[in-house]
Structure 1
Amino acid sequence: MWTLSRIAVYPIKSLDPVFLEQTKIRPSGALVGDRQYALFDQAENVINGKKYPDIHRIRSQFDLAQQTVSLSSPDTSPQTLVFHLIEQRTELENWFSEYFHQQVTLKENSESGFPDDLAAPGPTIISTETYEELARWFPEITVDELRLRFRANLEFTGDFPFCEDRLYSTTDSPVLFQIGSIILAGSNPCKRCVVPSRNPLTGDTDSKFMKTFIRKRKETFPTWAPLELFQNMYRLAVNTRLSRQPNEHSDMMRVGDPVEFLT
């Protein structure tokens, strides 16, 4: 039986995660609090790890109950400063503006957040076994660091590496699965950018990471997985959609919940 083992939300897109014991899901499919905020540069483009590698050097800690974020970076000052996400928005934007050397705006979307895949804005999901397999491909990278590189929302204890690839299909009927009282539909394997090839704390890029990943993914690709959904092999984890509208008062998923196939 598959079991949910970890829940991660990223309150500000591209910054550090918060690990939770339980969470609810919004009608859009996004986990409550995930990518609720995002930074935008002076050209109104989102500031993310793909475009701004220096963002990896920012350390952030969130208190979701108090709605605060603690920020520090060796590029500015080792001093940690605490900001209220709402009441100190101007001060917070000034901190990011100084860091990125341009005017930065912090925007909020409490309904759907700022997902990468607009067609499948639900939580991304991956198995612990997959992370452990990747750690064998890259012995210098720990499982915990791989979590920070690939930034999945949900992690489950499965039965073999890449078993999460069973959560989507090439047919018109999506694979439905349930965690707690929340029903999700698997959409597609998550397309990757340059971010996983970088050290998540420094932003330094390993020039061989992508080539090694693609080569090993080809060598270990499951015979039962839908190859036609892999335009290239640089894909990992599963994008999802919400299958039905949640009940905001009762729908919940918790660490320890079974991950059960419905179709």
Structure 2
Amino acid sequence: MAHISQLYIYPVKSLGAISLQQSEVTSRGLRYDRRWMLIDEKNRFLSQRKYPQMSLFHLILQENGIKVTYQPTGQHIIIPYKPQTNTVVEVDVWDSLCTGNYVSEEVDEWFSTLLNITCRLIYMTDDSLRQVDERYAGPGHITSFSDGYPILLISEASLADLNTRLTHPVSINRFRPNIVIKGTEAYLEDCLQHFEAGGISFYGVKPCARCVMIGVDPLTANTGAEPLKTLASYRKVNNKIYFGQNLIHKGEGTISIGDELNIKQLGDAAIVKVVSVQV
């Protein structure tokens, strides 16, 4: 039976993941997911695409905020759950304009020193409503500072299939999913149009296009051509390489590891058919 096997959030866009046993699902995705984001002096967001060392920041949810530790040195800081300033800034996330509040000068200085770039941390407040792309989802669906959609889903079977094609297997963390499912065939998520879990309806709206960021090893920050090179050999359509399914949802509540998927609707795969592995 298909079920949720792993849950992840990424409170600060492009920093490390937090693994959860359960998560509250809010109107804009999993609670705390990508509500914070680092920006440079020109209000452009920072990501591992340019700064792979961002993967080396480890995050833990605490009562007084999010503890962020820079793994190479052990230095840490607490990000408060609410910003300490009222200063609002407009930012652009992949041609999607939205706003955020500066968090604090102390946090800005800490990240600027460790990343060796002048940057500031912003938080998306509840009144900042960033609409997802209406070409793929109707109006009223919002997200935080994600690349485009509130939730990303990948199956363990898809990762397992990819790893049979790689010389050096990779972990699921390369792909930064929110929901990982088990008990399906590989790439079922390509066809997953509607399912329920935890009493919430989820809808697959657009396969996730991949970039060089999945070449960053989240444990070392080393970069390489894989797994993007291998994915391109069998998951490329119209010059884009796909792995995973973007979701929107209807309803709020809690989802947990072990929750079964009640699959309501499957469609035709938008991705090229899986080819056999040549041994």
TM-score normalised to structure 2 length: 0.75
Equivalent of 1:79 in 71, 74, 78: 74
Question: Is residue 109 from structure 1 mapped to residue 143 from structure 2 by the alignment?
Answer: no
- Between the aligned residues of both structures, percent identity stands at 25
Bigger Cα displacement from structure 2, 101-110 vs 121-130: 101-110
In 2, the alpha carbon distance for the partners of 1:70 and 1:205 equals 22
Equivalent of 1:177 in 163, 170, 195: 195
Gap change, CA 1:102 and 1:198, over 3 Å in 2: closer
Confirm or deny: 8 A CA contact 1:93 1:106 kept in the other structure: yes
Bigger Cα displacement from structure 2, 80-89 vs 100-109: 80-89
In 2, the alpha carbon distance for the partners of 1:188 and 1:60 equals 29
Which residue of structure 2 lines up, in the alignment, with residue 135 of structure 1? 163
Which residue of structure 1 lines up, in the alignment, with residue 133 of structure 2? none
Q: Deviation of residue 202 (structure 1)?
A: 3.0
Question: Is residue 197 from structure 1 mapped to residue 199 from structure 2 by the alignment?
Answer: no
The structure with more strand, counted as a fraction of residues: 2
CA deviation vs aligned residue, 1:204-257 (integer Å, no higher than 9, x gap): 222354222211447xxxxxxxxxxx3246110000112x3x34xxx2111111
In 1, the alpha carbon distance for the partners of 2:77 and 2:122 equals 18
Describe the SS at the equivalent of 1:25. Answer: strand
Which residue of structure 1 lines up, in the alignment, with residue 8 of structure 2? 8
Bigger Cα displacement from structure 2, 197-206 vs 1-10: 197-206
Bigger Cα displacement from structure 2, 103-112 vs 16-25: 103-112
Confirm or deny: 8 A CA contact 1:7 1:153 kept in the other structure: yes
Describe the SS at the equivalent of 1:81. Answer: strand
TM-score normalised to structure 1 length: 0.79
In 1, the alpha carbon distance for the partners of 2:53 and 2:70 equals 13
In 1, the alpha carbon distance for the partners of 2:71 and 2:257 equals 31
CA deviation vs aligned residue, 1:122-165 (integer Å, no higher than 9, x gap): 210011111111221224224xxx21210110001132211111
Bigger Cα displacement from structure 2, 32-41 vs 65-74: 65-74
Question: In the TM superposition, what are the counterparts of 1:24-35 in structure 2 within 5 Å?
Answer: 24-28=24-28, 30-35=29-34
Bigger Cα displacement from structure 2, 87-96 vs 176-185: 87-96
Q: Deviation of residue 61 (structure 1)?
A: 2.3
Gap change, CA 1:207 and 1:139, over 3 Å in 2: closer
In 2, the alpha carbon distance for the partners of 1:231 and 1:160 equals 25
Q: Deviation of residue 34 (structure 1)?
A: 0.5
In 1, the alpha carbon distance for the partners of 2:70 and 2:23 equals 27
Question: Is residue 231 from structure 1 mapped to residue 238 from structure 2 by the alignment?
Answer: yes
Q: Deviation of residue 198 (structure 1)?
A: 2.2
In 2, the alpha carbon distance for the partners of 1:194 and 1:151 equals 13
Question: In the TM superposition, what are the counterparts of 1:14-163 in structure 2 within 5 Å?
Answer: 14-28=14-28, 30-56=29-55, 58-74=56-72, 78-85=73-80, 86=82, 89-111=104-126, 112-117=143-148, 121-142=149-170, 146-163=171-188
In 2, the alpha carbon distance for the partners of 1:113 and 1:162 equals 26
Confirm or deny: 8 A CA contact 1:179 1:257 kept in the other structure: yes
CA deviation vs aligned residue, 1:16-42 (integer Å, no higher than 9, x gap): 1111111122223x1111001110011
Describe the SS at the equivalent of 1:115. Answer: coil
In 2, the alpha carbon distance for the partners of 1:189 and 1:252 equals 24
In 1, the alpha carbon distance for the partners of 2:61 and 2:229 equals 38
In 2, the alpha carbon distance for the partners of 1:2 and 1:132 equals 16
Let me know the Cα RMSD of the aligned residues: 2.1
Letter in 1 for 2:145: F
Where relative contact order (Cα < 8 A, 6+ residues apart) is larger, the structure is 1
The structure with more helix, counted as a fraction of residues: 1
In 2, the alpha carbon distance for the partners of 1:213 and 1:59 equals 27
CA deviation vs aligned residue, 1:86-136 (integer Å, no higher than 9, x gap): 56832221111112333211111144420101xxx2210011111111221
Confirm or deny: 8 A CA contact 1:137 1:216 kept in the other structure: no
Bigger Cα displacement from structure 2, 101-110 vs 188-197: 101-110
Unaligned runs of 5+ in 1: 168-174, 219-229
In 2, the alpha carbon distance for the partners of 1:133 and 1:65 equals 39
In 1, the alpha carbon distance for the partners of 2:37 and 2:109 equals 15
Q: Deviation of residue 201 (structure 1)?
A: 2.7
Describe the SS at the equivalent of 2:25. Answer: coil
In 1, the alpha carbon distance for the partners of 2:235 and 2:144 equals 31
Describe the SS at the equivalent of 1:160. Answer: coil
Describe the SS at the equivalent of 2:54. Answer: helix
